[in-house]
Amino acid sequence: MVIEIHKFFLIMCLKSFIIGINLVIRKYISKERRNVMAFLDKLSKKIGDVAESATDKAKDFAETTKLNSAISAEEKHINQYFLDIGKLIFEQEKDNPDSPVAELISEINSSLHTIEDLKSKISEIKLNNK
């Protein structure tokens, strides 16, 4: 009977020991799990912050590009208006030797004659190759 009590006591001690170890392991795993979860939470927040920053920068870039495109379109309109004004002035002043733009008109006329000469040479080349 004494052996039975010692055996029972030994089994109870072993069970308590196993339960204690189990609790320690669970506590350790739980702590490690919390550490891993905390790390993943921090990592997730950092990734979210970077993604948000990148999204904001992309939106700013898109808006800036859109605005620059609008500026470019307006500058093209202005250049076309200057061109139209220049053509009107050229037509009005081309026969006036006393015009304030007479020298520029002379340069334009010179370029127009050069273009005609070059076109004539192209026509000659095309005729000779037939």
Kindly state the average pLDDT of the residues 68-94.
Answer: 96
The pTM (predicted TM-score) of the whole model is: 0.53
pLDDT band, residue 96 (cuts 50/70/90): very high
Whether residue 125 is predicted with pLDDT greater than 80 in this model: the reply is yes
Measured CA to CA, the distance from residue 36 to residue 38 in angstroms comes to 5
Closest to 79 measured CA to CA, from 39, 71, 65: 71
Closest to 101 measured CA to CA, from 111, 115, 87: 87
Measured CA to CA, the distance from residue 99 to residue 92 in angstroms comes to 10
Kindly state the average pLDDT of the residues 105-129.
Answer: 94
